[in-house]
């Protein structure tokens, strides 16, 4: 259908060791990502959604090589990003994938001026001519909506939205192809959030960028993403195109997530059926389907067997025994109420 | 139902800083009836939290309430001394704070913390207080409250801690519950649980709630009336349906348009240009004027009055001068 995937994540597992309670106890691991696989195509915005602790940020960090996976591969244009021949190969690769951080307050060095912050990636990557560098920085600043007189200011002189613009300019400095955006707007107020989201959309069109957009806010994800993966306890439970996911959510967790969002309309029906309980600890995740402890459709099979992602509609994958069985029996999966139709 | 419980008149809370007086809340007035859920909405720095803290006189130094009246059942709270206020805090008006992680004391079990306010407010019998704590924990959804009272906050998840906060706030059956962003630190599925719990508890106890939030979705789902704040002032007040169907103030309109909605599609989001001014850069006229697309010359010069229109809708904007409909 489409060309080769720009980025391919295969069975990614990231386990963080937990500090042992005593010398004799068994080493335990937090299974932050536990078998995550997906593909991202050139020019699309791929959303990773889930609640805290679901492994979405861990996955993002592994993609930019900030953490080493315990198992699994990440291929960028078909080449493994963790096994490069030499330093130069890594450096070339680093230019292509950049990260936008969540917190615009802690991700900018308070001792650097804005100009210096944005120039940093250029310095590291060998743009030695200061005049040329400044020119590039000013160009970037203009692009993200910062004024040239901001060049010599320090981060503390800016508001959250402005700082996030600085962060965006810095990530764009090396003309990356893929941007991993880790909750780029969740620290911002709504009116500012809209500005940054619009800016990101404009930049994407202008530079044919590919985004991996990590967020817990489904409304934001729906606004900006083309395809969305829903994560729960280190697993991807559902992947689908935006329209399909919001009109025909298949996995019970996705449905519950959609149901839990308060809609800004007093007459809209939502939050009627809420999930019970808490997310289980990723140290000892439940056997079988990770969601069965909170799922209202859980059956015996769910407690034993881990469901695999399977296609419920073209391009729409869901990891749930319920639908697998329904499909086998010729049942349909489209029996959900359509919330986006209003 | 509509018995007046609390009335705030022209509240002005300032922070004394080296650069002078910073008005965080500047002439805010509203009333709260028994059984009502009033939402105070606004972006960070608009003074919504300071308003709620002012009601309980919990403004930390260098802040000070310099003017206004806070009438609770006809008595001005601002004239009360600390001892009298302590009788009111927790017993009559209580508060749920935003951060369940930091608002609980880590060195005491949660049962102890719930009992504390009961004992402070005159419960002599410890066994009774304990029974009440267990009852409250059951009410907020703990399955084994007898065990849970001896848990420490560190043993609980964020959602559970917020439930403990709610239990603490409700033990003395207050008339007014102030909830300052009670779900901001929580995940959506947990948020939905907590909001449902608050709704249920309101039905059971009949407490009035002041809900401070920046999330217009939550407001739509829980509030009866809404007050929108901007730069320390109330800019609009209306019943919830009226506000969403017929927002008057350009700021409210902008806010409503700038949230991405799950049930609608937009290519680009509307955004309000610029940013919220800090207290030292408040414009002379209308405070929203520099960001307002309808702003005229008069908006720059003069401060618009807070006019009351038909059906209880109030707005602070020159477009709606005179109180009656003269839409520009």
Spell out the SS3 assignment of B58-98: CCCCCEEEEEEEEEECCEEHHHCCHHHHHHHECCCEEEECC
Q: Does A340 touch chain B (CB under 8 A)?
A: yes
Q: Does A284 touch chain B (CB under 8 A)?
A: no
Q: Do B221 and A262 touch (CB under 8 A)?
A: yes
Cα–Cα distance for residue pair B312/A315, rounded to 1 Å: 51
> What does the angle CA A74 – CA A80 – CA A81 come to, to the nearest 5 degrees?
75
Q: What confidence score (pLDDT) does residue A229 get?
A: 96
Q: Do A191 and B255 touch (CB under 8 A)?
A: yes
Cα–Cα distance for residue pair A296/A34, rounded to 1 Å: 23
- Minimal CA separation from B115 to chain A, in Å: 25
| Interstrand relation of B75-76 and B20-33 (parallel, antiparallel or unpaired) | unpaired
Give the pLDDT confidence of A299-342 residue by residue, as tens digits. Answer: 888 898 899 999 999 999 999 988 777 665 544 444 444 444 33
User: Among residues 124-143 of chain B, which lie with CB inside 8 Å of chain A?
Assistant: none
Q: Point out the residue among A191, A216, A261 whose CB comes nearest to the CB of B271.
A: A191
Give the pLDDT confidence of B139-175 residue by residue, as tens digits. Answer: 888 888 898 899 999 888 888 888 899 899 988 889 9
Closest Cα to residue B62, out of B102, B23, B9?
B23
Cα–Cα distance for residue pair A148/A141, rounded to 1 Å: 7
Q: Point out the residue among B157, B262, B276 whose CB comes nearest to the CB of A219.
A: B262
Q: How many CA atoms lie within 13 A of B327 on its CB side?
A: 5
Q: What confidence score (pLDDT) does residue A83 get?
A: 81
Q: Does B157 touch chain A (CB under 8 A)?
A: yes
Residues of A in contact with B273 (CB under 8 A): 195
For chain B, list the domains and their CATH numbers. 4-92+174-320 (3.40.50.300), 100-173 (no CATH)
Residues of B in contact with A271 (CB under 8 A): 192, 195-196, 221
pTM for the whole structure: 0.84
Q: Do A161 and B275 touch (CB under 8 A)?
A: yes
Cα–Cα distance for residue pair B184/B292, rounded to 1 Å: 28
Q: What confidence score (pLDDT) does residue B315 get?
A: 93
Q: Do B263 and A265 touch (CB under 8 A)?
A: yes
Torsion angles phi and psi, residue B86, rounded to 5: -60, -30
| Spatial contact of A234 and A31, defined as CB atoms under 8 Å apart | yes
Helix (H) and strand (E) counts for chain A? 11, 12
Q: Does A269 touch chain B (CB under 8 A)?
A: no
Q: What confidence score (pLDDT) does residue B284 get?
A: 87
Residues of B in contact with A259 (CB under 8 A): 192
Q: Do A264 and B261 touch (CB under 8 A)?
A: yes
Distances (CA, A) of A112 to A108, A150, A154: 8, 12, 6
- Minimal CA separation from B252 to chain A, in Å: 11
Q: Do B260 and A223 touch (CB under 8 A)?
A: yes
Give the pLDDT confidence of A197-211 residue by residue, as tens digits. Answer: 999 999 999 999 999
What band does A264 get if pLDDT is binned at 50, 70 and 90? confident
- Minimal CA separation from A30 to chain B, in Å: 16
Q: From the candidates B160, B163, B190, B269, which should be mutated to test the interface with A, based on the most A CB atoms within 10 A?
A: B269
Q: What confidence score (pLDDT) does residue A342 get?
A: 34
pLDDT above 80: residue A126: yes
Residues of B in contact with A220 (CB under 8 A): 260
User: Among residues 225-254 of chain B, which lie with CB inside 8 Å of chain A?
Assistant: 240-241, 244, 254
| Spatial contact of A326 and A333, defined as CB atoms under 8 Å apart | yes
| Spatial contact of A99 and A60, defined as CB atoms under 8 Å apart | yes
Torsion angles phi and psi, residue B295, rounded to 5: -60, 135
Average pLDDT across each block of 10 residues of chain B; the chain has 328 residues. List them in order: 85 91 91 93 88 91 92 92 91 87 90 91 90 90 87 87 89 91 83 87 89 91 94 94 93 90 78 83 89 89 88 89 49
pLDDT above 70: residue A255: yes
Residues of B in contact with A262 (CB under 8 A): 191-192, 195, 215, 217-218, 220-222
Cα R_g (chain A), whole angstroms: 21
Q: What confidence score (pLDDT) does residue A327 get?
A: 61
**DSSP-assigned letter for residue B280:** G
Q: Point out the residue among B189, B219, B258 whose CB comes nearest to the CB of A257.
A: B189
Q: Does A45 touch chain B (CB under 8 A)?
A: no
Look up tokens 């229109």; give the residue.
Answer: B309
| Spatial contact of B212 and B281, defined as CB atoms under 8 Å apart | no
Q: Do A265 and B262 touch (CB under 8 A)?
A: no
- Minimal CA separation from B325 to chain A, in Å: 24
Helix (H) or strand (E) holding B178: strand B176-180
Residues in Cβ contact with A28 at an 8 Å cutoff, skipping those fewer than 6 apart: A17, A18, A20, A283, A284
Cα–Cα distance for residue pair B25/B22, rounded to 1 Å: 9
Look up tokens 């490069």; give the residue.
Answer: A84
Q: Does A330 touch chain B (CB under 8 A)?
A: no
> What does the angle CA A232 – CA A234 – CA A239 come to, to the nearest 5 degrees?
60
Q: Point out the residue among B263, B275, B276 whose CB comes nearest to the CB of A268.
A: B263
User: Among residues 162-191 of chain A, which lie with CB inside 8 Å of chain B?
Assistant: 162, 189-191
ipTM of predicted assembly, 2 dp:
0.79
Cα–Cα distance for residue pair B87/B79, rounded to 1 Å: 14
Q: Does A301 touch chain B (CB under 8 A)?
A: no
Residues of A in contact with B184 (CB under 8 A): none
Distances (CA, A) of A264 to A151, B147, B323: 39, 39, 27
């Amino acid at each position: 259908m489409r060309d080769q995937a720009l980025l391919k994540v295969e069975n990614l597992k990231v386990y963080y060791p937990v500090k042992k309670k005593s010398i004799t106890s068994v080493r335990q691991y937090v299974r932050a990502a536990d078998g995550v696989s997906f593909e991202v195509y050139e020019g699309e915005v791929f959303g990773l959604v889930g609640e805290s602790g679901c492994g979405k940020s861990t996955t993002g960090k592994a993609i930019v090589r900030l953490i080493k996976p315990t198992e699994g591969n990440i291929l960028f244009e078909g080449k493994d990003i963790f096994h490069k021949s030499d330093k130069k190969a890594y450096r070339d690769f680093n230019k292509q994938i950049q990260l936008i951080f969540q917190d615009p307050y802690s991700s900018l060095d308070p001792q650097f001026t804005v100009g210096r912050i944005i120039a940093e990636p250029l310095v590291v990557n060998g743009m030695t001519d200061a005049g040329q560098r400044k020119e590039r920085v000013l160009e970037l600043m203009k692009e993200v909506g910062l004024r040239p007189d901001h060049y010599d200011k320090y981060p503390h002189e800016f508001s959250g939205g402005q700082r996030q613009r600085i962060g965006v300019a810095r990530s764009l400095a090396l003309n990356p192809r893929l941007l991993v955006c880790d909750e780029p707007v969740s620290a911002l107020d709504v009116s500012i959030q809209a500005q940054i989201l619009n800016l990101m959309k404009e930049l994407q069109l202008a530079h044919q960028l590919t985004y991996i957009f990590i967020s817990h806010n489904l409304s934001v994800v729906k606004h900006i993403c083309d395809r969305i993966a829903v994560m729960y306890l280190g697993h991807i439970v559902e992947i689908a195109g935006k329209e399909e996911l919001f009109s025909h959510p298949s996995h019970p967790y996705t449905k519950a997530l959609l149901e839990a969002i308060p809609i800004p309309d007093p007459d809209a029906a939502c939050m009627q059926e809420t999930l019970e309980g808490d997310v289980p600890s990723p140290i000892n995740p439940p056997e079988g389907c990770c969601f069965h402890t909170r799922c209202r459709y859980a059956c015996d099979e769910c407690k034993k067997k881990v469901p695999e992602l399977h296609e419920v509609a073209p391009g729409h994958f869901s990891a749930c025994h319920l639908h697998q069985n329904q499909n086998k029996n010729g049942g349909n999966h489209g029996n959900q109420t359509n919330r986006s139709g209003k | 139902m509509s018995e007046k419980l609390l009335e705030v008149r022209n509240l002005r809370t300032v922070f004394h800083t080296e650069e002078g007086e910073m008005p965080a809340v500047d002439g805010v007035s509203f009333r709260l009836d028994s059984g009502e859920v009033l939402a105070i909405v606004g972006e960070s720095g608009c003074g919504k939290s300071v308003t709620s803290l002012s009601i309980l006189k919990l403004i930390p130094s260098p802040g000070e309430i310099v003017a206004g009246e806070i009438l609770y059942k006809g008595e001005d709270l601002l004239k009360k001394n600390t001892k009298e206020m302590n009788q009111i805090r927790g017993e009559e008006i209580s508060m749920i704070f935003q951060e369940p992680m930091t608002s609980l004391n880590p060195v005491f079990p949660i049962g102890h913390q719930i009992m504390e306010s009961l004992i402070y407010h005159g419960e002599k019998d410890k066994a009774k207080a304990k029974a009440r704590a267990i009852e409250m924990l059951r009410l907020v959804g703990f399955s084994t409250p007898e065990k849970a009272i001896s848990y420490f906050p560190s043993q609980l998840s964020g959602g559970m801690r917020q439930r403990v906060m709610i239990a603490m706030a409700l033990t003395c059956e207050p008339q007014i519950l102030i909830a300052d962003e009670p779900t901001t630190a929580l995940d959506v599925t947990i948020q939905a649980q907590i909001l449902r719990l608050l709704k249920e508890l309101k039905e059971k106890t009949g407490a009035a709630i002041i809900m401070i939030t920046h999330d217009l979705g939550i407001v739509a789902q829980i509030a009866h009336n809404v007050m929108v704040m901007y730069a320390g002032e109330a800019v609009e007040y209306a019943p919830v349906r009226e506000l969403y169907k017929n927002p008057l103030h350009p700021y409210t309109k902008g806010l409503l348009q700038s949230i991405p909605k799950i049930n609608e599609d937009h290519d680009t989001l509307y955004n309000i240009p610029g940013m919220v001014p800090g207290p030292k850069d408040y414009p002379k006229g209308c405070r929203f004027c520099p960001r307002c697309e309808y702003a005229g010359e008069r908006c720059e010069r003069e401060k618009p009055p807070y006019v009351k229109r038909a059906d209880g809708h109030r707005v602070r904007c020159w477009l709606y001068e005179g109180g009656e409909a003269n839409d520009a």
